[in-house]
Amino acid sequence: LKDKAGILVMGGPMMGLTQWTMAVPVVKGTSGILAWEVPSIQKEHECIRCGRCVVRCPMSLMPTLLAKYAKFDKTTEAEAYGILDCVECGCCQYSCPAKISLVHWIRLGKNKITSLKREKRA
Ligand code: SF4
Ligand code: SF4
Protein backbone atom coordinates (compact mmCIF):
# COMPACT_ATOMS: atom_id res chain seq x y z
CA LEU A 1 0.00 0.00 0.00
CA LYS A 2 1.10 3.55 -0.66
CA ASP A 3 1.64 5.82 2.32
CA LYS A 4 -1.53 7.82 1.71
CA ALA A 5 -3.80 4.75 1.67
CA GLY A 6 -5.84 4.97 4.83
CA ILE A 7 -9.08 3.15 4.13
CA LEU A 8 -9.53 -0.29 2.66
CA VAL A 9 -12.85 -1.12 1.09
CA MET A 10 -13.74 -4.66 0.15
CA GLY A 11 -15.94 -4.52 -2.94
CA GLY A 12 -16.80 -1.59 -5.17
CA PRO A 13 -16.98 2.13 -4.38
CA MET A 14 -20.77 2.17 -3.90
CA MET A 15 -21.55 -1.16 -2.25
CA GLY A 16 -18.19 -2.11 -0.74
CA LEU A 17 -17.64 -2.52 2.96
CA THR A 18 -14.96 -0.57 4.81
CA GLN A 19 -12.52 -2.84 6.62
CA TRP A 20 -11.01 -1.78 9.91
CA THR A 21 -8.21 -4.31 9.96
CA MET A 22 -5.83 -5.88 7.47
CA ALA A 23 -6.57 -9.27 9.04
CA VAL A 24 -9.70 -9.80 6.93
CA PRO A 25 -9.19 -12.60 4.41
CA VAL A 26 -9.79 -12.31 0.70
CA VAL A 27 -12.44 -14.90 -0.14
CA LYS A 28 -14.06 -16.29 -3.26
CA GLY A 29 -16.76 -13.59 -3.24
CA THR A 30 -14.32 -10.67 -2.93
CA SER A 31 -14.90 -8.71 -6.11
CA GLY A 32 -12.19 -6.15 -5.50
CA ILE A 33 -10.28 -4.13 -2.95
CA LEU A 34 -10.08 -0.35 -2.96
CA ALA A 35 -7.40 1.56 -1.09
CA TRP A 36 -8.33 5.18 -0.56
CA GLU A 37 -6.65 8.15 0.96
CA VAL A 38 -8.19 9.05 4.29
CA PRO A 39 -11.05 11.45 3.50
CA SER A 40 -11.88 14.24 5.86
CA ILE A 41 -14.46 12.83 8.27
CA GLN A 42 -17.84 13.95 7.03
CA LYS A 43 -20.15 14.84 9.84
CA GLU A 44 -23.68 13.54 9.55
CA HIS A 45 -26.30 16.28 9.60
CA GLU A 46 -30.04 16.23 10.11
CA CYS A 47 -32.17 15.19 7.16
CA ILE A 48 -33.33 18.30 5.33
CA ARG A 49 -36.08 16.34 3.57
CA CYS A 50 -34.82 17.28 0.13
CA GLY A 51 -36.02 13.98 -1.34
CA ARG A 52 -32.88 13.32 -3.40
CA CYS A 53 -32.49 9.84 -1.92
CA VAL A 54 -36.07 8.98 -2.86
CA VAL A 55 -35.63 10.19 -6.44
CA ARG A 56 -32.38 8.21 -6.86
CA CYS A 57 -33.61 4.90 -5.44
CA PRO A 58 -33.90 2.32 -8.25
CA MET A 59 -36.29 0.28 -6.10
CA SER A 60 -38.67 3.20 -5.52
CA LEU A 61 -38.12 3.10 -1.77
CA MET A 62 -37.97 5.93 0.75
CA PRO A 63 -34.43 5.57 2.10
CA THR A 64 -34.73 8.44 4.56
CA LEU A 65 -37.75 6.83 6.19
CA LEU A 66 -36.24 3.34 6.17
CA ALA A 67 -33.03 4.58 7.78
CA LYS A 68 -35.03 6.32 10.49
CA TYR A 69 -37.14 3.24 11.19
CA ALA A 70 -34.03 1.07 11.35
CA LYS A 71 -32.29 3.52 13.65
CA PHE A 72 -35.17 3.48 16.12
CA ASP A 73 -35.83 -0.28 15.93
CA LYS A 74 -39.19 0.12 14.21
CA THR A 75 -38.79 -3.13 12.32
CA THR A 76 -42.50 -3.65 11.56
CA GLU A 77 -42.77 -0.25 9.90
CA ALA A 78 -39.47 -0.70 8.08
CA GLU A 79 -40.61 -4.02 6.65
CA ALA A 80 -43.97 -2.58 5.67
CA TYR A 81 -42.16 0.13 3.72
CA GLY A 82 -40.08 -2.44 1.83
CA ILE A 83 -36.71 -2.34 3.55
CA LEU A 84 -36.05 -5.92 2.48
CA ASP A 85 -36.33 -4.86 -1.18
CA CYS A 86 -33.31 -2.59 -0.84
CA VAL A 87 -30.50 -3.85 -3.08
CA GLU A 88 -27.89 -1.80 -1.16
CA CYS A 89 -26.72 -0.02 -4.30
CA GLY A 90 -25.67 3.08 -2.36
CA CYS A 91 -27.28 5.62 -4.73
CA CYS A 92 -29.30 7.18 -1.92
CA GLN A 93 -26.33 7.72 0.35
CA TYR A 94 -24.20 9.05 -2.50
CA SER A 95 -26.75 11.74 -3.27
CA CYS A 96 -27.53 12.75 0.32
CA PRO A 97 -26.37 16.33 1.03
CA ALA A 98 -26.68 15.70 4.77
CA LYS A 99 -24.15 12.84 4.51
CA ILE A 100 -26.42 10.44 6.36
CA SER A 101 -25.19 6.84 6.41
CA LEU A 102 -28.41 5.60 4.86
CA VAL A 103 -27.08 2.25 3.64
CA HIS A 104 -25.54 1.48 7.01
CA TRP A 105 -28.86 1.96 8.78
CA ILE A 106 -30.80 0.10 6.11
CA ARG A 107 -28.39 -2.86 6.26
CA LEU A 108 -28.70 -2.89 10.03
CA GLY A 109 -32.50 -2.85 9.79
CA LYS A 110 -32.51 -5.69 7.27
CA ASN A 111 -30.23 -7.76 9.49
CA LYS A 112 -32.48 -7.17 12.51
CA ILE A 113 -35.59 -8.24 10.61
CA THR A 114 -33.87 -11.34 9.21
CA SER A 115 -32.62 -12.32 12.68
CA LEU A 116 -36.09 -11.83 14.19
CA LYS A 117 -37.61 -14.02 11.48
CA ARG A 118 -34.97 -16.70 12.07
CA GLU A 119 -35.63 -16.63 15.82
CA LYS A 120 -39.37 -16.98 15.23
CA ARG A 121 -38.84 -19.99 13.00
CA ALA A 122 -36.52 -21.72 15.50
S1 SF4 B 1 -29.30 1.50 -1.20
FE2 SF4 B 1 -31.41 0.68 -1.12
S3 SF4 B 1 -32.65 2.40 -0.47
FE4 SF4 B 1 -30.68 3.25 -1.18
S5 SF4 B 1 -31.02 3.72 -3.33
FE6 SF4 B 1 -30.19 1.65 -3.28
S7 SF4 B 1 -31.98 0.31 -3.25
FE8 SF4 B 1 -32.70 2.37 -2.70
S1 SF4 C 1 -31.14 12.84 0.57
FE2 SF4 C 1 -30.52 12.94 2.73
S3 SF4 C 1 -31.23 14.95 3.41
FE4 SF4 C 1 -32.31 14.51 1.49
S5 SF4 C 1 -34.26 13.51 2.15
FE6 SF4 C 1 -32.77 11.88 1.79
S7 SF4 C 1 -31.84 11.49 3.81
FE8 SF4 C 1 -32.84 13.48 3.91
Q: What is the pLDDT of residues 70-115, one digit of tens each?
A: 999 999 999 999 999 999 999 999 999 999 999 999 999 999 999 9
Residue 87 in contact with ligand 1 by CB distance below 6 A = yes
Evaluate: CB of 96 within 6 angstroms of ligand 2: yes
Cβ atoms of 60 and 93 within 8 Å: the answer is no
pLDDT-derived band of residue 19, with 50, 70 and 90 as boundaries? confident
Q: Chain-centre distance of CA 71, in angstroms?
A: 12
Among 42, 45, 48, 55, name the best residue to mutate to test ligand 2's pocket (greatest count of ligand atoms within 8 A of Cβ): 48
pLDDT confidence bin for 39, thresholds 50/70/90: low
Residue nearest to atom 3 of ligand 1 (CA): 63
**Residue 105 is which amino acid?**
W
pLDDT attached to residue 15: 82
pTM: 0.82
Give 36's strand partners. Answer: 7
Tell me the C-alpha distance between 17 and 11, whole Å: 6
